[in-house]
Structure 1
């Protein structure tokens, strides 16, 4: 593992070596083994709570992660659903993660206000994920500890505004005073260096981490990412204003056809977007169906490697980028080396 190269508000807040987060990648994808590998590589990962609706199973997964990290802090992804009963289900899971001493949560989806008091009272750090700076400012007013802002290049849900990550990073640091994490299309250390240079505190990655050796998904799924160049991603469900960037397969094509027809009845999309299809694809390696979160950062995922090797590559690249930037500074006229 590389020594710490950067100290930021996020490394301090979360007690991690590197300012690198691996965001939750869907129910049962980001499990204890994968998250532990990320944590042990010096970053922060998040077990996706939605993958473990049974409280006992959820508790068991958290304990497994704690064992694999030898007690190092790790996180949980909490998706805030707008469906009836969603907040109550989440509160039950929050009770479990508090009991198990989880250090931080990555919240996403709806407004986190209903669950913030419970988390803050327990001392759990809250990083709220949003697709635009305007939403991040609202989350800051609610009292979150940090914000994660993802741009239009992110696999998963980039929001409806289509703002790129580099714009989000430059804008967010002008108007937000809590720690800022930038995601969307991130897969290299030079991007990490650029984000830090703009004033942000860390990056979050998703697609780049699909080729992590410790991730349980079928080898064929990882090979598909390695062979891709990122142009295979497409945004679907635009007619529903629920933009979703995914791998362009048969399910995505069906959803695109509904979008083109301006269909706004979700039931017509349902057969193509069911979570069970995605899980089956990751289990079997047949990637023709399912909404498979996938972004342009696939172009950087060029080999299946352990999480620590991926992180080492990022840190080495970030170091080289920082050195290059320093070398571009002109020699002062007062410096004898410039005479």
Structure 2
């Protein structure tokens, strides 16, 4: 995939990928095997550091990924939410990344400003993930290299404002000077063409890739995603200002009831249901009835489990077809 005629660099120009696609970091699931498969497929994947809180294991994951990536770029996701990566460990994680020669990090959660000089001095590029434009403008101001704006349709954390990808794209085109990516509900190549047409350097895809063969999760979990539709997600945890879009199941029903019935609900009230360990158990067992299982509205495009490279090739074919349609639209031809 290639785009020309825009002042901002594309994702391939920024990070050396073949396609303008980021495989966003997936908690517990983005390991060396999956991220190396993304690299070989020509997209940019990120090992999730929070999935490997032991520094030595993170080093092993990075080294294994490098061995399997065939020289293609990959990065490490550093979520700076206290519940995932304790504040006192964040700097040590970045030091492991630097020592291992990784040149791209995906940050999310807290403001990464304190770590940007350390990373830039080591030649590491920072892609910061945000839920809406106003946070992207702040990230631009503190010196990140690019931003991912991942909004309302996404699995995981869409933010409190719930602004969708189509609106985020056009606003970012008008307001941002640094390269930006668009995520949230992206699962078809025509959406990639639309995002690039609105000025994005690329897109972020998560849910569409959850059924890749290289994802280690149980086949029963993947089959549930294949059977689901775009309407089979729901929003929880807005009451504690940490909105999550997840697959509908017994856990989301209980959490929504608790949020409705308990006055001044706290995270302690919800923790017996939302603990990350419960979600990880579902990936291991394939029992998707319990756990907060992040999934976005791009479930609409999840229809079978196949190698990640095959999913990317399908997206590329859809992208090319979309570009051909654009060329033939009345009044919009480049000729």
Q: Secondary structure at the match of 2:238?
A: coil
- CA deviation map 1:289-315 (0-9, x unaligned): 111001110110111111111111111
Moved more, 155-164 or 66-75: 66-75
| Residue 40 of structure 2 corresponds to residue 9 of structure 1 | no
- Give the Å deviation of 1:206: 0.7
Contact 1:105 1:126 in 2 (8 A): yes
Q: Which residue in the other structure is 2:201 paired with?
A: 201
Q: CA RMSD in A?
A: 1.7
Alignment of 1:1-339 (within 5 A): 4-6=1-3, 8-26=9-27, 28-82=28-82, 86-261=86-261, 262-330=263-331
- CA deviation map 1:154-185 (0-9, x unaligned): 00000000111100001011100111100000
Q: Secondary structure at the match of 2:224?
A: helix
Structure 1 Cα separation of the partners of residues 206 and 307 of structure 2? 15
1:331/1:281 CA distance change after superposition, 3 Å: closer
Structure 1 Cα separation of the partners of residues 271 and 331 of structure 2? 58
Contact 2:17 2:72 in 1 (8 A): no
Show structure 2 runs of 5+ residues with no match: none
TM-score, normalised with respect to structure 2:
0.95
Contact 1:87 1:114 in 2 (8 A): no
TM-score, normalised with respect to structure 1:
0.94
- Give the Å deviation of 1:70: 2.5
Q: Which has the larger radius of gyration?
A: 1
- Give the Å deviation of 1:330: 4.5
Structure 1 Cα separation of the partners of residues 244 and 148 of structure 2? 17
Structure 2 Cα separation of the partners of residues 243 and 285 of structure 1? 24
Show structure 1 runs of 5+ residues with no match: none
Structure 1 Cα separation of the partners of residues 284 and 229 of structure 2? 23
- CA deviation map 1:123-151 (0-9, x unaligned): 11100000010000000000000000011
Q: Secondary structure at the match of 1:153?
A: coil
